[in-house]
Amino acid sequence: MKSAVAFSLLLALVPSSTEAIKLPHFGRIDANDNDLVQRVLKQEYTHIVVGGGNAGLAVASRLSEEPTFSVLVLEAGTWQPLTPGVVVPGLAGTTFNTDIDWAFYTQPQEHAKGRRVYWPRGKILGGSSALNFMAWTRGHKSDYDSWDALGAKGWNWNSLLPYFKKSEKFSTPSSNNQNAQPVYDASVHGTSGPVQISFSPYISDQFTGFYEGIQKMGVSVANDLNDGKMDGVAWSQSTIGKGGLLNERRVTSQTAYIDPIWLTRSNLCVLPGMQATRVLFDTTNKDNVKATGVEFTFANITTGHTFSASATREVILSAGSIQTPQLLELSGIGDASFLESKGINSVVDLPGVGENLADHPAIVVVEKLKEGSKTLDAIGANPILAGAALAEWALGKGILTQELSTLAYLDSQTLLNASDHSRALTMMNRLKSSSNIPTAQVEQQIAQVKAGSPIMEFLAINVYFGANAAGEPNVPYLSLAACAQKSFSRGSIHIASNDPKAYPNIDPQYLQADIDKFYLMRAAQFLRELAKTDALSQYIDSEAEPGPEVQSEQQLEDWIENVVRTEYHPIGTAKMGARNDQGVVDENLIVHGTSNLRVVDLSVMPMHVSTHPQSTAYAIAEKAADLMRQKA
Ligand SMILES: Cc1cc2nc3c(=O)[nH]c(=O)nc-3n(C[C@H](O)[C@H](O)[C@H](O)COP(=O)(O)OP(=O)(O)OC[C@H]3O[C@@H](n4cnc5c(N)ncnc54)[C@H](O)[C@@H]3O)c2cc1C
Ligand SMILES: *[C@@H]1O[C@H](CO)[C@@H](O)[C@H](O)[C@H]1NC(C)=O
Ligand SMILES: *[C@@H]1O[C@H](CO)[C@@H](O)[C@H](O)[C@H]1NC(C)=O
């Protein structure tokens, strides 16, 4: 654990006395530290970024490269702790429902048995990049090209590719315990950006079974899941460091974009523990209001202490797909009559705020593995095994270096036979007259499907991850997730009240469109067939979920309504697009009706991409920083 000790020592260098810093470009604030807050407030900032998450810290770091800028970041969560669940890849998920998780729940889901679905989100510097499962993939080329076609001018695969590359530092695979040869395409990667990307040195036996079995099911090996084609199965690339202090450790937007610079970048001030409650405006010009600053409070205290800081150039909202629309509404930007019903004065009437919510709904087929199979279940239950695994990890080896190490993306034509595929297209076409999803989006999704953009993702998880709180004791599990990448359901996120500390109402409308359930049903059948392939079945004892009593299509669909959950990928609630088309921001990410309020996070995505979205969050932030530097 030598490097872990070194890592703690480095953290100890973090100044605890604020006296030492003339310009407090780094804050460690607790509720009693009004002094530091006051000193920070006396500074003049050119830019204030709200939300030090995945996109927020990336954009703040890039902005602060400009010496004439001074940047303040307000983040509700704390500086990243050395919590094992943050640092150790194999322990991702153990931070759920802890202090660093907002732990949202959706509204009861009308088409999913009235259940509330749990939505973890990072409440920590790094945001959800500190809580996620680290998979590093880009969507299909046609997914991004749809943004441009829908009115987000200049946002397409070709224009984003340089920014994807700018963010990443790709490491070619080194040896692994299975002697597997991950396939990749170095030409699509960047090698000098801040976000380290690597392949795990450890592959579980049952993951090899998945990788080989799915090829027997007609799925080819992908060229590279970051090449814009994403056609098949791959050993996963992940946000995990190689070498140095970050060897086999999770890489977040804090470790990548902030840790290397905070000691020297005196024009960047990062304030954890601060929750923004409202954007402040100069409304002299009613048709084009100007953001002048941000009001905020201690995130952990319900009363007292309201501060404000002013921004001379721009205010940037990076609070994520859930809280960016919440903050816009709290600030008077949203549907005017709705806001007035909540006691908020309208500043800009913008009915698109909080609408257009899209997610990737998921189900998990759970297999009990044969006795003696090595999984994380035993490590979670047995402190001696856990200690041994951690000791191995500290040496850069073993099961805890691994996260989602194999992923597969299937287009509709590969998942379904020809007659089912044409049936699916008929169902999609019928949605053109639906009131839930805009016709233009249905048309784009059909075009994407025809272009081979994946409809379904399958991934293997090395631990019980089913519908119950836990599996049976002393049983090793393999969880096989099917995640729908092109949902045709759209939902919304709106404030529940004008209290900034109250959680907003989240309603993803899971399974509102029948086609979503149809694809998930076929995906569950596919996973059952996969489990029967020789390559994978050799490890399996029996199916735990849905279980043998669930057989007919109707029973499977009923089960899906009982278990459908999130792949944790909400987007779209402040979408880029024309104001008369429910757009919230323009193609420069500036909120309509304002001159200088930008949104930089996944809420600006007009439509979803068929993949894990963290690389897209970094690319959006990189492009946004360029837009702001060009303007200045
Ligand atoms: C459990 C989980 C697993 C995932 N797995 C993967 C994966 O394997 N690969 C992948 O690519 N993606 C994954 N994702 C998705 C991905 O991590 C997120 O989509 C992405 O990080 C979102 O980035 P963001 O910048 O939009 O928001 P976030 O990173 O969530 O940042 C928002 C930040 O704003 C802060 N904030 C909110 N409101 C306020 C306020 N009022 N004042 C101050 N601060 C505020 C929050 O605390 C947070 O730090 C996963 C997500 C989760 C939750
Ligand atoms: C908020 O309170 C929790 C629980 O006491 C604590 O763990 C966390 O560090 C606090 N967050 C901040 C930002 O101070
Ligand atoms: C297509 O697949 C479905 C589901 O597996 C099956 O019921 C149907 O018979 C198949 N059709 C053809 C023509 O093979």
Q: What is the structure's pLDDT at 247?
A: 95
By alpha-carbon position, which residue is closest to atom 9 of ligand 2? 78
> Each residue of 331-354: b (16+ CB within 10 Å) or e?
bbbbbbebbeeeebeebbbbebbb
By alpha-carbon position, which residue is closest to atom 14 of ligand 3? 417
Name the residue with higher pLDDT: 11 or 613.
Answer: 613
Q: What is the structure's pLDDT at 324?
A: 99
Q: Are 570 and 357 in contact (CB under 8 A)?
A: yes
Q: What is the structure's pLDDT at 8?
A: 36
State in Å: Cα 386 to ligand 2 middle. Answer: 27
Which residues does residue 594 pair with via DSSP β-bridges, in sequence order? 289
Rounded to an integer, what distance in angstroms lies between the CA atom of residue 285 and that of residue 282? 8
Q: What is the structure's pLDDT at 35?
A: 66
Which atom belonging to ligand 1 lies closest to the Cα atom of 119? 53
% of the chain at pLDDT higher than 90: 85
- pLDDT at 7 exceeding the cut of 80: no
- pLDDT at 12 exceeding the cut of 50: no
Going by pLDDT thresholds of 50, 70 and 90, the confidence category of residue 36 is low
Going by pLDDT thresholds of 50, 70 and 90, the confidence category of residue 16 is very low
Smallest CA-to-CA distance from 163 within 623, 496, 495, 540 is with 623
Which atom belonging to ligand 2 lies closest to the Cα atom of 272? 13
Q: What is the structure's pLDDT at 10?
A: 34
Q: Give the number of C-alpha atoms closer than 13 A to the C-alpha of residue 220, restricted to the C-beta side.
A: 10
Question: Is the shortest distance between the CB of 420 and ligand 3 below 6 Å?
Answer: yes
Question: Is the shortest distance between the CB of 417 and ligand 3 below 6 Å?
Answer: yes
- pLDDT at 628 exceeding the cut of 50: yes
Going by pLDDT thresholds of 50, 70 and 90, the confidence category of residue 298 is confident
Smallest CA-to-CA distance from 546 within 484, 467, 460 is with 467
% of the chain at pLDDT higher than 70: 93
By alpha-carbon position, which residue is closest to atom 7 of ligand 3? 420
Q: What is the structure's pLDDT at 217?
A: 97
Neighbours of 235 (CB within 10 A): 25
- The mean per-residue pLDDT over the stretch 603-613 comes to 98
- The mean per-residue pLDDT over the stretch 394-401 comes to 96
- pLDDT at 27 exceeding the cut of 70: no
Report how far apart, in Å, the C-alpha atoms of 208 and of each of 34, 215, 363, 606 are. 55, 11, 22, 37
Among 140, 189, 360, 569, the active-site one is 569
Residue 202, token pair as written in the block: 């450890």
State in Å: Cα 417 to ligand 3 middle. Answer: 6
Q: Are 331 and 552 in contact (CB under 8 A)?
A: no
pLDDT digits (tens, 9 = 90+) for 39-52: 667 677 999 999 99
Q: Are 416 and 249 in contact (CB under 8 A)?
A: no
Which atom belonging to ligand 2 lies closest to the Cα atom of 99? 7
- pLDDT at 119 exceeding the cut of 50: yes
- pLDDT at 38 exceeding the cut of 80: no
- pLDDT at 404 exceeding the cut of 90: no
- The mean per-residue pLDDT over the stretch 143-166 comes to 98
Q: Are 582 and 352 in contact (CB under 8 A)?
A: yes
Q: What is the structure's pLDDT at 34?
A: 64
By alpha-carbon position, which residue is closest to atom 8 of ligand 2? 99
Q: What is the structure's pLDDT at 144?
A: 98
Q: What is the structure's pLDDT at 39?
A: 66
Rounded to an integer, what distance in angstroms lies between the CA atom of residue 237 and that of residue 170? 9
Catalytic, 569? Answer yes
Residue 322, token pair as written in the block: 């859930």
Q: What is the structure's pLDDT at 161?
A: 98
- pLDDT at 514 exceeding the cut of 90: yes
Rounded to an integer, what distance in angstroms lies between the CA atom of residue 362 and that of residue 360? 6
Q: What is the structure's pLDDT at 272?
A: 87
Going by pLDDT thresholds of 50, 70 and 90, the confidence category of residue 264 is confident
State in Å: Cα 42 to ligand 3 middle. Answer: 69
Going by pLDDT thresholds of 50, 70 and 90, the confidence category of residue 32 is low
In Å, the largest CA–CA distance within the chain is 71
Q: What is the structure's pLDDT at 42?
A: 67
- pLDDT at 19 exceeding the cut of 90: no
Name the residue with higher pLDDT: 404 or 229.
Answer: 229
Which atom belonging to ligand 1 lies closest to the Cα atom of 275? 42
Smallest CA-to-CA distance from 346 within 357, 356, 354, 335 is with 335
Going by pLDDT thresholds of 50, 70 and 90, the confidence category of residue 9 is very low
Q: What is the structure's pLDDT at 273?
A: 87
Catalytic, 612? Answer yes
State in Å: Cα 29 to ligand 2 middle. Answer: 11
pLDDT digits (tens, 9 = 90+) for 280-293: 999 999 999 999 99
- The mean per-residue pLDDT over the stretch 346-361 comes to 98
By alpha-carbon position, which residue is closest to atom 9 of ligand 1? 135
Which residues lie with the beta carbon below 6 Å from any ligand 2 atom? 77-78, 99, 272-273, 299-300
Instruction: Report the chain's mean pLDDT, rounded to a whole number.
Output: 92
State in Å: Cα 369 to ligand 1 middle. Answer: 33
Going by pLDDT thresholds of 50, 70 and 90, the confidence category of residue 506 is very high
Any idea which of 68-82, 131-145, 496-510 has the lowest mean pLDDT?
Answer: 68-82
Q: What is the structure's pLDDT at 305?
A: 75
pLDDT digits (tens, 9 = 90+) for 523-577: 999 999 999 999 999 999 999 999 999 999 999 999 999 999 999 999 999 999 9
Which atom belonging to ligand 1 lies closest to the Cα atom of 323? 38
Q: What is the structure's pLDDT at 17?
A: 31
Please list the alpha-helical segments (H only) found in 29-156: 34-42, 54-63, 84-87, 141-149
- The mean per-residue pLDDT over the stretch 388-404 comes to 94
pLDDT digits (tens, 9 = 90+) for 422-438: 999 999 999 999 889 99
Going by pLDDT thresholds of 50, 70 and 90, the confidence category of residue 304 is low
Ligand nearest to the CA of 526: 3
Q: Are 393 and 88 in contact (CB under 8 A)?
A: yes
